[in-house]
Each structure stands twice: as structure tokens, then as C-alpha cells.
Chains A and B, each alone.
Chain A
């Protein structure tokens, strides 16, 4: 078996890119037995504690303007987070709600960003229940690409985005879903 380097930090930490309207914060979260999705959607906490935070401006997302060992991010200011696929799913008992074999192509806008991606559902995508009555604040988008509205050359992608549905200003979905196993 080949040996893999630890991605960042000791086991139990996930590296996540957070985006607010103005900044990109690359940091680690101590997920313990949970996932990033669980932590972002935990309504008991309005802040998320991160470690080894590296901050860049959205206008120059490759340049680090500051870094600190510990930081708190206000969840309702996070537009979206880029996380590994396994970290973007809920764990344990909540996981049953996130299956489905239909992939809907979606386009949505957030403050400062426009995002393309796909939403996975068990049946027909109901925009109202997805956007308004959804229990979770952060919804999963797969095959995502975000573009900064004011700097369209700056794009971000990853295995999955966790998008803050409360900050979505416009949401469009394709009519016919793609069926997957």
C-alpha cells in the first residue's frame, strides 16, 4: 500500500476554503467525528472556529494578506465553502436526507459571486423547499465553479461547495435532471 501524506495537520482536521463577499479564508477545522457540513449546519453555533487561517482578498485570491493560528468566522457571513466531497456530506443520522439519483444543473448568485453547479435530489427539485423551507442553511453543490462577479478571471472550483442558501440572491435550475446511479 502506498503511503499518503497527511493533507494538513493531524488526523481529524479538514482543510476548507471559506469565501465571504470580500475575502477568501483557507483554514483547517477540527471535525472530530463530524463533517464540515455538520459543523456549518449546527444551529447551536453562530460562529465556526478555524485553525491556521490564511486570508486573501477576493481581488487577489492567490496573495496571502494575513494569517493567524486561530480565528472565528461568523457563519452567516460565509457565502460558500469549498470542502472535500466526504466533508461536504452530513454524517450519521442526518445522512439519509442527502441521497438521490437526480442531478439538476443550477446557476445561482451570491454577494460578489456567480456559481454554476449541480444539486442532487431524490425526486423533482422543489425550489421553494430547497431555498425557503430547507432545514439546513448550507446546501451542497457538486461539480461547482464560482466566478467573482467583479473579477471574472478569478474562478474557484472543488469537489463540492457548501452554499449559504440564506445569502443566495438568485437561483435558477435546469428543467431536466441528469439521472445518476
Chain B
């Protein structure tokens, strides 16, 4: 007899589904909220979970994500029930890990038929523990807003994933991530690079500074330094440790092609290339694309993002696309409050969350997450 766990904060729905699913031959477990549902699922992994989206404290999407993330329940079939009936809601449910999505009100017969159909599908083996993703923000031309985008992107990923995200400032010569977040770290990248090719996990942990926005920062040294020769393996190993500990690591890369930067770019799952709407930046981008491709990146993992960091761009976006002969994945609009946000040491996405720039960064994070999830 297949077991089904129904998680819904509406007692009348629980009662009705308990009766209907029981009559249909399912062994039914009930939970009135997400946390209780997850506890029950861990204790007695069900064959199927029917999850309501709109629940207090822990919404249904988060329940789906946690079910999928736990090896004990990663293989459980999930049907999401919700009164939110838009196409975007269906997409959100499927991205959170649901197998199917039904809009309330639902006929019990319809739900039972779908439950049997979902259970009859061959299930993949339980997923291996998830590996984090590394997104590097890069431009060979300085001053085009790489650090600002990297900081805001990290915060956006933390919000999106509702989990801590690491942020790596690889700009050893002039890193400004700590400044933008109003931090004064004691241990920095310099301490890590001094550890040799394989710094211990504990050392990396110690060098990460926690920020209230849900990010952990490995800051650049306060005094300019050149990464020492042989720093490539240290960077590779550090990135590998960060990957195993965080769902996302965002790296602010130096505007060079030195050994450390190359190691970082090679270890990245996706590179966001920041382009400014000016001739010099375009020329630099055009020349850097083949070098990035030579590091083994496929074209669909090199994302061109136009950052309008001045009020009046020298070139229109269409001309930028035409010159690059590739589409722009995102356009970050100019935001006058960005300078104020930097002065205050607060990421713009928190300082002015409803601004078009914050929205554009959040959308970019969402698109990257969607791209890297498949």
C-alpha cells in the first residue's frame, strides 16, 4: 500500500483528503505545517507527498526543496496543491522539485488519478548530495561595476536559495567587497594564499566573515598584493571547499588573466562578463571572449551582462549587442542610489530593493539559478 503524506495548514482539506486518499487505498499521514511534515517525512519517508504552497512559516516550495535535498526523501514523488494559479507558480513549483502541480479547488478523483500516475513513473535514483555552483563576475576592464554586481548577485542568491552564499573577493590588488559591505575583516585572501596549495577547511572557514545579508565573505587584503606564484592550486582547492559548503559561491574576479584568476575562471560553472556601453569596454570584451572559451567554457556558460554604470551610456544596447555579435543576457539599469548604497556599506539590493537595478539583479540571479539547475 503506497504511503502518502499530506501537508496542508487547512484542517478541512486535511480531513477531506485523509478520507478520499484512504478510501482509494493509500496509507495516509497528515501534517498541519511544513516543519511537522518534514519531520514526519524524515522519520517515515513516504512514497508521495502532497504539499500545499501557502502555509505559514515554511511555504510549500521550501518544503519541496528540503524534501529533495534530503537523501531520505529525495526520491519521494511530490504533488503541489495551491490556490496560486498563474503559469509562474507552476514553474516555481517544478523548479522547487515538485513532480506535478494542481490548482485548488481540486476534485478528489482528479488528485487520486494524478497520484497514481505520478507513483507509476519510474523514479531516478536518489540524488547525490548537491554540489554548489560557482558564478564568477569578470571583466578585463576595471571600473565597469564588477564588484557591485558580484556583491548584489550574492545577496540575491542568498535570498533566492534562503541559504547562506559565499562571496569571494579575488581582487588582491584593489578589492572593495569588504568596503561595500562595511566590513573590516581580520583574515583575508592573503592569509589563505599563504597556506600553500591545500588550505584546510577550518582555515577557509576562519577567513570567511559573516554578513547579515546571508553571505559569508572571503575579503581581499586591505593592502594591495600580487597573488604569489603557485596560487592557482590554492584558489582551485578553496573554490572546491566552498562548493561543498554553499549552494552558491559568487566570485569577484580581478581584471587580469593571472594564474589565480585563470584557476578561478576554470573552476567556475558560469562566468558573468560585465560589459559597459563604451567603445573601450566593448573592445576588451571582444578580445577576452576567445581567452575565456580557451579555458573550457561553453558559450552558454559565458553570460554577457550590460551594466549601465553611468547615467548616460555612450552607446545604445542594440549597438553593444551588434558589436559583440552575441545577445546580452541581462541589462542592469543605472541607479543613482548605487553610490549612496556603497557609501553606507549596504548592498543596493537591500538599500533600495524596489529599484529597477535591484530587480534586474534579482532576475539575473533567478535566470542563472534556473540555467544551472538543469
Contacts and interface: CB of A to CB of B under 8 A. Distances in A.
Interface of A: 2-10, 15, 17, 22, 26, 52, 54, 57-65, 67, 69, 150-151, 154-158
B362 interface: yes
Interface stretch (B85-93, B182-190, B319-327): B85-93
B109 A9 contact: no
A63 B87 CA distance: 12
A58 B16 CA distance: 34
A65 B92 CA distance: 13
Contacts of A17: 84, 86
Contacts of B159: 65
A150 B86 contact: no
Given A8-B83, A69-B56, A63 B61 contact: yes
B54 interface: yes
Contact of A62 (B13, B91, B104, B354): B91
B211 to A, nearest CB: 19
A58 B86 CA distance: 13
B106 A5 contact: yes
A155 B61 contact: no
Nearest to A61: B88
A57 B109 contact: no
Contacts of A155: 86-87
B59 A62 contact: no
B121 to A, nearest CB: 24
Nearest to B355: A22
Interface residues of B, number: 38
B84 A26 contact: yes
B113 interface: no
A101 to B, nearest CB: 28
Contacts of B53: 54, 64
B interface SS class? helix
B359 A150 contact: yes
Contact of A5 (B54, B85, B95, B104): B104
Interface in B1-60: 10, 12-13, 16-17, 20, 53-54, 56, 59
Contact of B107 (A5, A62, A154): A5
A26 B54 contact: yes
Nearest to A157: B86
B105 interface: yes
Given A62-B89, A150-B356, 10 more contacts: A3-B107, A5-B107, A7-B83, A8-B104, A10-B12, A54-B54, A64-B53, A67-B59, A151-B359, A155-B87
A160 to B, nearest CB: 13
A26 B354 CA distance: 19
A154 B88 CA distance: 7
B83 A15 contact: yes
A102 B318 CA distance: 43
B19 to A, nearest CB: 9
A54 B84 contact: yes
B281 to A, nearest CB: 24
A72 to B, nearest CB: 18
A2 B83 contact: no
A62 B61 CA distance: 10
A138 B325 CA distance: 47
Contact of B12 (A6, A26, A59, A158): A6
A47 to B, nearest CB: 20
Contact of A7 (B61, B104, B111): B104
A1 B367 CA distance: 45
Given A10-B12, A64-B61, A150-B359, A4 B92 contact: no
Given A8-B10, A59-B363, A64-B59, A26 B83 contact: yes
Interface string B212-256: 000000000000000000000000000000000000000000000
B56 A59 contact: no
